[in-house]
Amino acid sequence: MALLITIELFTLWFSLTTLSSVRAFVAGEGLWSKAQKDAVYNLQKYARTRQTSDYMEFLYFMNVPLGDHRALMEVTHKNPNIKSAQQGFLRGRNHSKDIDGMINLFQRFHNIYYIKKAINIWLEADSTVAELIPIGEQLYYEISSENPSEAGIDKIVSKIDPLNQKLTFLEDDFSYTLGEGARWLENLILTALFLIVLTVELSGLFLTISVSMGITRGINEIVRISKKVAAADFTNKARVFSEDEIGLLAVSFNEMIDNLQATISEWTQAEELRNQQQQLYESLIKAQSEMGLGLTISDNKKIIFANEALYKMYGYGEDEVFNMSSFMDLLVPEDREKLTAQFKKRLSGFENSESDMGEAAIVRKDGTIINIEYSVKIVKMDGRTQVLSVARDITARKQAQEELKNKAEELIRSNKELEQFAYVASHDLREPLRTISGYVQLLKTRYKNQLDEDANDFINYTVDGVQRMDKLINDLLAYSMVSKKQEKVWVDCSEILETVTTNISDIIRENKVKITFDNLPIVKSSSLLMIQLFQNLITNAIKFHSDKPPQINIFVKEHEKEWLFSVQDNGIGLDEKYAEKIFVIFQRLHTRDVYEGTGIGLAICKKIVEQHGGKIWLESKLGQGTTFYFTIKKA
């Protein structure tokens, strides 16, 4: 039976995959036909417009038939190169998940009449569509000549329509043939499935009748013996006719009869066993002392059980603890009042939660106060309502939390002092730089004709160094100010980009930059930080542009918890082994005489993005541009 079902499932799977491959070929024929029609249309359009772009469109659409041509040549070959055939079908725009099935269809059924006929039609159409390529080349050479002949062009164009009509007929014939083949295969598969299902059903019917007869016989015997047992007659045993479930039931029934007498004696031992289990239960609870958990059990009048950890935690002896009504007697007054009222409601049935957990303060016997974490549950034991409580000393954890809080406050205060220091230091450092620059410029002006060429160079080097130092200080100040907590409001990123393009309009105009961007979202941020982020990324893309005019595209994609932005350029690109380095402050990939800058712009971007709970990274190839990605969490 299992084998028949397996064969049935395999046949069903085989039929589905085969029909899916036929469907894929029909879809592939549609792609082939559309590409062929688009190629003819663009070639005829090229004859009218004489635009090279139309000829390039013709070549682009011809890629589909050429890709399928490559696949056809491989699958019809005696020893086909499967990888080459797969690449051909991919070039023909077939879905990657359909390709293996399409190849298998040809290999398994190439001798079937319909598939063989479809291959022949494809071969004819393949050779016919190939004739468009030399026609296109002739038309291109004629139009590109110095004195194109209108008569020559018309003559070349006149060859296109007959080929197009022939291809239309072949495409229709190919689809019709595949449809016929699919119907033939469908009928074949349905016939096979019908035969298999019929065989399974007949086999199942036979097995059902056989099993039913065996079950009836066994059940009748068990019913007969059960009547004997009901009459307190344990001398008879049920006959076992088979080793199936009914036979096992009969064996078990006989064992039950043997065990009934033994059960009576076991009942007398039940009370003793219960007492042993209770002792084991208490032993397990006491063992929790090793984990530092203080346990108590009270009956709402007094504590009836406690473990060693509780004595050690609270500092009271065993007798003192058992004179208390519950662990709440040890709470500080404010906690005791709150929890007592809460448990009165619980015991009265107003609250029905399974357990309560929380934190409270305990007064030890020596007067010291410790913090505990408790869990209290009301349970039913032996028909009585009892309160089970577990406590853990968390005084050290509380102290650690307080220290952590103090350190966090100290860190915040330190960061504020550092920000103030950075601002004051930048101001104090720039003042002497201005003085040096002023006096050097004064030397250059006043003693210009009295100094030799080396001295003038030294002055120029000094001025350049002062200017770079001034820019470096400015950038350092900007980097430090990013950490300053700023009020976050709803910011429209589209408006931010408008502001950025206005800020750097001179640079955009001088470099003939083209910037495009999606309809960008509104995020919770600081306008100043978002302007700084986008402006740094865009100016970076402009700075490292290639020989082509800079093209910058900004996209955004919405995820469940964040926005994913991308800034794409067509610049010089970079080796991705430096993808982490360029986000480090002062790290540069080029010398200053090639590209100016301090190497701090991308470090600022990284800091801004991380301040918004996101991350920033890039993808790039040398000579092919760079795409920066960064995420901003949704509010």
Please say if the pLDDT value at position 36 is more than 70: yes
Nearest to 386 by CA among 278, 306, 301, 281: 301
pTM more than 0.85: no
- Mean pLDDT, range 429-433, rounded to an integer: 60
pLDDT score of 347:
63
Q: With pLDDT > 90 as the criterion, what percentage of the chain qualifies? A: 10
pLDDT score of 50:
87
Ordered alpha helix ranges (H), 349-452: 395-446
Please say if the pLDDT value at position 1 is more than 70: no
Q: What is the 3-state secondary structure (H, E, C) of 186-239?
A: HHHHHHHHHHHHHHHHHHHHHHHHHHHHHHHHHHHHHHHHHHHHHCCCCCCCCC
H/E element, 75: helix 52-75
Tell which CATH architecture fits domain 486-633: 2-Layer Sandwich (3.30)
- Mean pLDDT, range 372-389, rounded to an integer: 70
Nearest to 541 by CA among 532, 553, 528: 553
- Mean pLDDT, range 463-476, rounded to an integer: 56
**Better-scored residue on pLDDT, 262 or 235:** 235
Model confidence at 484, in pLDDT bands (50, 70, 90)? Answer: low
Question: Whats the size of the chain, residue-wise?
Answer: 635
pLDDT score of 352:
46
Gap between the Cα atoms of 29 and 31, Å rounded: 5
Nearest to 464 by CA among 312, 376, 596: 596
- Mean pLDDT, range 77-106, rounded to an integer: 80
| Pick from 92-106, 327-341, 457-471, 596-610: least confident | 457-471
| Pick from 275-284, 507-516, 532-541: least confident | 275-284
H/E element, 557: strand 551-558
pLDDT score of 231:
79
Residue type, 129: V
pLDDT score of 351:
46
What Rg do the C-alpha atoms of the chain give, in angstroms? 44
- Mean pLDDT, range 594-603, rounded to an integer: 68
Gap between the Cα atoms of 90 and 112, Å rounded: 25
Residues 6+ apart with CB under 8 A from 139: 43, 46, 47, 55, 153, 156, 157
- Mean pLDDT, range 26-34, rounded to an integer: 78
Domain at 292-393, CATH from 3.90.1150.10, 3.40.50.1110, 3.30.450.20, 3.90.650.10: 3.30.450.20
Find tokens 């899916």 and name the residue.
20
- Mean pLDDT, range 6-33, rounded to an integer: 72
Joined tokens for residue 100: 């293996």
CA 614 to chain centre: 15
Do residues 63 and 38 touch, judged by C-beta distance below 8 A?
no
Do residues 389 and 375 touch, judged by C-beta distance below 8 A?
yes
- Mean pLDDT, range 230-255, rounded to an integer: 75
pLDDT score of 282:
63
Please say if the pLDDT value at position 307 is more than 50: yes
Nearest to 376 by CA among 367, 368, 384, 385: 385
Nearest to 524 by CA among 557, 489, 493: 489
Please say if the pLDDT value at position 473 is more than 60: no
pLDDT score of 43:
87
CA geometry: angle 558, 563, 566, nearest 5 deg: 100
Q: The domain 399-478: what is its CATH number?
A: 1.10.287
Nearest to 535 by CA among 496, 506, 482, 483: 496
**Could you give phi then psi for residue 233, rounded to 5 degrees?**
-100, 110
pLDDT score of 563:
94
Please say if the pLDDT value at position 627 is more than 90: yes
| Pick from 114-128, 153-167, 191-205: least confident | 191-205
Do residues 621 and 577 touch, judged by C-beta distance below 8 A?
no
- Mean pLDDT, range 327-333, rounded to an integer: 76
Model confidence at 482, in pLDDT bands (50, 70, 90)? Answer: low
Gap between the Cα atoms of 377 and 356, Å rounded: 6
Gap between the Cα atoms of 619 and 628, Å rounded: 7
pLDDT score of 114:
78
pLDDT score of 289:
59
Joined tokens for residue 267: 């009942």
Gap between the Cα atoms of 480 and 458, Å rounded: 33
- Mean pLDDT, range 140-150, rounded to an integer: 87
Gap between the Cα atoms of 396 and 373, Å rounded: 12
**Could you give phi then psi for residue 373, rounded to 5 degrees?**
-110, 125
**Better-scored residue on pLDDT, 271 or 307:** 307
